[in-house]
Structure 1
Amino acid sequence: MTSFDFVWNKQGSVNGKVLARKRKKPAESNEGGSKKLENILQKNKVHEKPNVDKFKKDVALPNPPISKKKVPFKNTRKLVNLEQNTPPENPLENDSKRLVKRKKKKDKLAAAELLRLGQKPTPVPNQDRIQHSLFSEKHRTKNISNISGASVVEQVFSSDRTFSYLDIHKYIVSNLEKNNFTTLTNVQEKAIPVILKGGNVLIRSQTGSGKTLAYTVPIVDALQSITPRLERNQGVQALIIVPTRELALQTHEIISKICTFQWVVIGHLCGGENRNTEKSRLRKGVHILVATPGRLLDHILHTSSFKVNNVRCLVLDEADRLLDMGFKKDIIKIVQELDQSKKNCEYDPLALLRGETPKEKSEEVDCDDLYCLRNPKSPKRQVVLLSATLTKGIAELAEFTMKEHTYIDALDESSNINPDHMVIPKTVRQEYMITFVKHRLFTLASVLVAKSKENCKILVFMATSQMVDYHYQLFSNYLAKMPINRGKVKSGDVLLLDEGGESDDEEEIVMDAQFFKLHGSMEQSKRKEEFSGFRKAKRGILLCTDVAARGIDVPQADYVIQYTGPQTDEDYLHRVGRTGRVDRTGTALIFLTHDEQEYVTHLQKHKVFLKERNSSEFSNHLCDLMEEVEEEKAASALQRRFEEAVSKDKELYKLACFAHSSWSRFYNSYPAKLRNIFNFQMVNLGHYVTSFAIKDTPSHVAKVVRGQVANVEPKRLNRKLAIHEDDQPRRPKQAPKRKINSISLRTSEYSSGLDFKKKKKKN
């Protein structure tokens, strides 16, 4: 610091001389400069008042020390707050912004300098890639009103009556007992006697109540009783339409178990199979045909050897699902073709020559009191329509397909049941689990690990087929298999499992359950193989979409997980109905986030009450799996294992991105009835990206899906077909074809063939 000696002259200027230079010391107050100025003014009161503003501009006063007073400066636009130890507004936010900007600027300058020197700069890590902390969010409120009440349940077994109580063939009864079908369910006891009499029936009963045997037993009993025996050239007698291929295979299997009469032929038609094989099967003759609507209509319209004029029983199983899947037009067309084929069959020109009318012929046949399916000459057609729910569309379909019918409801005893209430079998225990979005993946893994130890068959319902493919690949390779030394410490607290580089450690199988997958985009042969393999397996985990939610009966499937919420109440009903079927018990668990917890209240309005499960009940299984003591460390280790696998494997990374994209489209398509609960505008997409084990941001994932980044390999062109101007020279243009100058094209048939000579003009 430099000290000045100021002397005022007459003109009002200041002459300053440097007296000495002193070391800079912290001043105790900022009054030093102001006192000097006052002393000078007192000594020179006689002189003219100096220009203070000019003085402050010309002379640099020493910087005043920071004090707790506010010192205003006239030449400044704003008052500067010089309070000591007073932090600025939002210090963390401002400092972080400054640091980020400075870091970016320094990186750019350093990279430019290296490029100028001809060196290759080190790549700057992508700022879009953020690794979210799993346990940064630990406390969120739960606003679920615990309303106590009794759910509306359906009593599956109303009495102890067996199938021998019915008037059916003894061989059918013995076949049922061999397959553990002994006691009649409520719907079977009410429906089978009515169907045996030949009446049209509309059955409403919940899934898993034995509806399939309610119509298959009367059909088999009626066809085996026909005398003389049926021949294959008589064609289809009973036609059963189901919504999915898996349900068609299952129904065909059930009929084959109870029908051991060799002259009664059973067949099925499913989309995706060989049409020529199906044609040859239909040409030989089938009596009971189980089919999906699309393939059945295809054969009716285009297979000439397929005759449906003898169909005397039409069954529409899972009619509500048929309408939901958009098969209404196909069903209407099938019924019209059946009516038209019946009219064409009744046309008999010889009878018209004899003076007989079709009415007289039909009256003679109607005099027979036999069940129409027992009489091959009967013109009647019985219709059986089965549904788990009774909606307006079901009522319209019943009016179109049959004139008079008997309505059978398994809940007839409860006349005061509200139609909005959901009826679920009593054997199903319903639960829900609320988790953080970032915890969904390892929480699902912990539940699967825990239940696989109990020798369970588990069904996991997901929103889209891309989600099924991704989680199947991830769990099969990185959950069922683990490194042998995953729990050994290498140095300090760093685990070998968490290493960023590749590891050559051997792996071991840690889960006995096998993973299966099932969705509508798979090939028919693969779907058939996966479904039959899961049914035969003693323990297994089936990742599937709603294609497996209707009518599928899996033996010992005692645990159902809904990883994504259903879009309709009917979907929830049918998903839950995959377990606790007939005489078994089961559990249905649904995953919900804190933003989706109102869905529990929504179900309570439909008389469905769920019990809460805590995710910590399954966390100890992750500790055993990852060989960790603390639950958070075990969960973090498993999440990092998934993330490392996704980042290294290009195909798995691509599957993860497409799975997240398909989930977002699904989540954004909820109906208005549930959109306030499953609201896409309120979700944190970054957290959901973490739930798919992706380290990138949602915008980066969207670019991958659109194919705008290098992570997605471009389609490889055939080198023989690809022509590149830079690599290959251009082909020379071909010379134009020479025109053929044919004499026959310009010569008349009356010409002599000699050339015409022009006459010379006379001058």
Structure 2
Amino acid sequence: MDSSSPNTNKALMDTRFSDLIPKLSCDLIEALERSNFKFCSPVQAKTIPLLCSHKDVVVDAATGSGKTLAFLVPVVEIIRRSSSYPPKAHQVMGVVLAPTRELSTQIYNMAQPLVSTLTNVNSVLLIGGQDLKFDMKTIEAKAANLLIGTPGRVSEIMERMEFLDFRNLEILILDEADRLLGIDFQKQVNSILSRLPKQRRTGLFSATQTEAVEELAKAGLRDPVRVEVEVEAESNSKTPSDLHDEYLECEADKKSSQLVDLLIENKNKKIIVFFMTCASVDYWGLVLSNIPTLKYISLIPIHGNMKQKARNKALALFKKASRGVLLCTDVAARGLDISDIDYVVQYDPPQDPDVFIHRVGRTARLGKQGRAIVFLMPKETEYVEFMRSKRVSLQERRCSENVSDVIPIIRTAAMRDRAVLEKGLKAFLSYFRAYKKHLCSRTLRWKNLEIGKLAMGYGLLYLPEMSEAKQGRRPLSTKGFTPVDGVKFEDIKFRDKSREKQRQQNLQARKERGQAEKRERVKKNSRKACATRDSSKGGRKLTGKRRRAIQTAEDREEINRDNSALKKLKKGSITEDEYAELTGLN
């Protein structure tokens, strides 16, 4: 935020932080000015005075409107005015919760210049992905007066460190409250609330207020004030007018080519591409790096299954970059303040439609221009009207013509590297499973998926066995998929020599183990056959001829089972592990 020319940013007002009533402390105002914050955004001008006047608030403001500062300023000011200030070492005065580690870290870093104006107040960042014992030792050695973090780690600390004193807690903030009050965090948030005093100030902040937020506002807040702010938005719109929001209707087998074309067209810009699953991020991160025309574009993957250090590194790298592409799941959809995002691409519509607003909110922040686009397959276009009912207007963009077909490139990469082959299958199946759990199931119907074209768009070499494509009154369509002929999939090697060496060792070990077990089974069956008496002959032992006939039939049956399993493996309907299990190689 450029304080020297506030009127160039349409999201800012003429109101200064120093003009707010009740008056903020001089130390806090000076800290804000040192960070180039002189003028308030609308949500800050409305919210800060309310919280500082002992009001609970439910804040519904568009993404990029300055919500973080709208609660951090009153948190610091309220702690300063408390009768318990300055607090004792383990006296907790405030708690700020956010749904993701990245957002919690961002809030913590933004809070430090403001918290530094307080005497003997220490803020602690509590997030998963780092050692719990280290957090506990830090709190024991220093202090914990302001807790900022994710619900899981904060609730765990509260349970284990009973000496933390919450009796004089002044304020609780739930950022992205709609997500925190959802089923994913319900248990942890309830655990935290049960340990906090009811006589406190509470602020719920989000761009999308849900029924859960409304219910908590009714039950847990004392006469809350609702604050609704839209940043220079068109009438009846949930997104800023400076956001150009589009949709692209595209067949499933053409999506990847259209994505590559869009990235090339915007190669000098800063772009975020959202996928539905972690496996998809891993796969497309690997695949897109194999496409020659994207060679000079920086591709940075991030998702919730990555180790925390890798996530931090990826995010820091993207923040510093002047251009590049962040490939991500919804772990990066909420609250993250990454400057100068030019374009948000939704390769897959989000499972939760409310997340749509958060995703596109990564661009067009605080009055700046931005673009966003969502890819929709032909049978998904009802989604446009659905989003319009949620006050999000989408303009149509036509598919680019004469784009290069990238499917042959992807398939060639899969035939050269088993990692691409396996990641592609995993990504395809994870996408399908996630699609079946879509909260927009009336609009995005999984039974309408054309999995043949979808698998083609993923560049798969073969179509994996799926019961949904064979069973039911309307099996899913496999049309549009062209399998690759003349390739023995079991012979495709990992490009990574160490992985391939390990794979060969595993295969050999399974083969030897299977052969030994097979010989043992033959012996066992032979002994059984010899011991079996022909009941029809009064319990007499079987003749040699009869025993040989029984053994031959059993051997033939076993050979048929093994051949059947081998055929399934070659078709891709079972994995190597399943093949080993069926044939006794495991």
Same fold (TM over 0.5): yes
SS at match of 2:367: coil
Amino acid at match of 2:226: Y
Residue 407 of structure 1 is matched in structure 2 by 226
Amino acid at match of 1:389: T
Q: Does 1:175 align with 2:15?
A: no
Residue 549 of structure 1 is matched in structure 2 by 333
Question: For the residues of structure 1 that align with 2:507 and 2:53, how far apart are their CA atoms?
Answer: 66
Q: Which runs of 5+ in 1 are unaligned?
A: 1-154, 340-378, 483-508, 620-630, 731-763
1:689-708, CA deviations, whole angstroms, 9 ceiling, x for partnerless residues? 111112323439999xxxx9
Aligned counterpart in structure 1 of residue 184 of structure 2, from 309, 326, 336: 326
Question: Which protein shows a greater Rg?
Answer: 1
Residue 550 of structure 2 is matched in structure 1 by none
Q: Which moved more, 1:516-525 or 1:312-321?
A: 516-525
Residue 435 of structure 1 is matched in structure 2 by 250
Amino acid at match of 1:266: S
Question: For the residues of structure 2 that align with 1:593 and 1:323, how far apart are their CA atoms?
Answer: 32
1:352-399, CA deviations, whole angstroms, 9 ceiling, x for partnerless residues? xxxxxxxxxxxxxxxxxxxxxxxxxxx942111223233321121123
Distance change (3 Å), C-alpha of 1:403 and 1:218: closer
Q: Does 1:395 align with 2:161?
A: no
Q: Is the 8 A contact 1:156 1:185 kept in 2?
A: no
Amino acid at match of 1:575: R
Q: Does 1:534 align with 2:310?
A: no
Residue 272 of structure 2 is matched in structure 1 by 459
Amino acid at match of 1:172: L
Distance change (3 Å), C-alpha of 1:231 and 1:611: same
Residue 215 of structure 1 is matched in structure 2 by 71
Aligned counterpart in structure 2 of residue 517 of structure 1, from 292, 301, 323: 301
Q: Is the 8 A contact 1:557 1:586 kept in 2?
A: yes
Q: Which moved more, 1:270-279 or 1:606-615?
A: 606-615
1:357-396 alignment, distance < 5 Å: 380-396=199-215
SS at match of 1:716: helix
Residue 506 of structure 2 is matched in structure 1 by 716
Amino acid at match of 1:469: D
1:133-212 alignment, distance < 5 Å: 157=11, 159-166=13-20, 167-212=23-68
1:164-313 alignment, distance < 5 Å: 164-166=18-20, 167-224=23-80, 230=86, 233-261=89-117, 263-283=120-140, 284-313=142-171
TM-score by length of 1: 0.58
Distance change (3 Å), C-alpha of 1:156 and 1:309: farther
Question: For the residues of structure 1 that align with 2:465 and 2:241, how far apart are their CA atoms?
Answer: 46
Question: Shift of residue 193 of structure 1?
Answer: 0.7
Question: For the residues of structure 2 that align with 1:160 and 1:225, how far apart are their CA atoms?
Answer: 27
Q: Does 1:469 align with 2:282?
A: yes
Distance change (3 Å), C-alpha of 1:232 and 1:654: farther
Q: Is the 8 A contact 2:253 2:457 kept in 1?
A: yes
Q: Is the 8 A contact 1:422 1:573 kept in 2?
A: no
Question: For the residues of structure 2 that align with 1:468 and 1:412, how far apart are their CA atoms?
Answer: 31
Q: Does 1:658 align with 2:426?
A: yes
Q: Does 1:683 align with 2:502?
A: no
Amino acid at match of 1:322: L
Residue 458 of structure 2 is matched in structure 1 by 692
Q: Is the 8 A contact 1:236 1:285 kept in 2?
A: no
Distance change (3 Å), C-alpha of 1:260 and 1:403: closer
Question: Shift of residue 216 of structure 1?
Answer: 0.4
Q: Is the 8 A contact 1:156 1:209 kept in 2?
A: no
Amino acid at match of 1:716: N
> How many corresponding residue pairs?
479
1:570-719 alignment, distance < 5 Å: 570-616=354-400, 631=402, 635-636=404-405, 638-671=406-439, 674-699=440-465, 710=490, 716=506
Amino acid at match of 2:348: T
Question: For the residues of structure 2 that align with 1:253 and 1:715, how far apart are their CA atoms?
Answer: 48
Q: Is the 8 A contact 1:205 1:410 kept in 2?
A: yes
Question: For the residues of structure 1 that align with 2:280 and 2:221, how far apart are their CA atoms?
Answer: 41
Amino acid at match of 1:459: I
SS at match of 2:247: strand
SS at match of 2:452: helix
Question: For the residues of structure 2 that align with 1:261 and 1:393, how far apart are their CA atoms?
Answer: 35
SS at match of 1:338: coil
Question: For the residues of structure 1 that align with 2:184 and 2:396, how far apart are their CA atoms?
Answer: 36
- Identity of matched residues, %: 29
Distance change (3 Å), C-alpha of 1:197 and 1:412: farther
Residue 241 of structure 2 is matched in structure 1 by 426
1:239-284, CA deviations, whole angstroms, 9 ceiling, x for partnerless residues? 1011111110010011124443374322110112111110012212
Question: For the residues of structure 2 that align with 1:586 and 1:526, how far apart are their CA atoms?
Answer: 28
1:271-298, CA deviations, whole angstroms, 9 ceiling, x for partnerless residues? 1211111001221212221011111111
1:445-456 alignment, distance < 5 Å: 445-453=260-268, 456=269
Q: Which runs of 5+ in 2 are unaligned?
A: 1-8, 470-487, 493-502, 521-586
Question: Shift of residue 404 of structure 1?
Answer: 2.5
Distance change (3 Å), C-alpha of 1:384 and 1:608: closer
Question: For the residues of structure 2 that align with 1:711 and 1:230, how far apart are their CA atoms?
Answer: 69
TM-score by length of 2: 0.74
Distance change (3 Å), C-alpha of 1:316 and 1:658: same
Q: Is the 8 A contact 2:121 2:145 kept in 1?
A: yes
Residue 338 of structure 1 is matched in structure 2 by 196
Question: For the residues of structure 2 that align with 1:726 and 1:411, how far apart are their CA atoms?
Answer: 71
Question: For the residues of structure 2 that align with 1:304 and 1:223, how far apart are their CA atoms?
Answer: 22
Question: Shift of residue 441 of structure 1?
Answer: 0.7
Q: Is the 8 A contact 1:235 1:308 kept in 2?
A: yes
Amino acid at match of 1:436: E
Question: Shift of residue 223 of structure 1?
Answer: 3.3
Q: Is the 8 A contact 1:248 1:268 kept in 2?
A: yes
Question: For the residues of structure 2 that align with 1:321 and 1:272, how far apart are their CA atoms?
Answer: 20
The root-mean-square deviation of aligned C-alpha atoms, in Å, is 3.4
Distance change (3 Å), C-alpha of 1:227 and 1:676: closer
Question: For the residues of structure 2 that align with 1:297 and 1:715, how far apart are their CA atoms?
Answer: 45
SS at match of 1:553: coil
Q: Name the one with the larger helix percent.
A: 2
Amino acid at match of 1:438: D
Q: Is the 8 A contact 2:55 2:201 kept in 1?
A: yes
Distance change (3 Å), C-alpha of 1:439 and 1:180: farther
Question: For the residues of structure 2 that align with 1:544 and 1:413, how far apart are their CA atoms?
Answer: 28
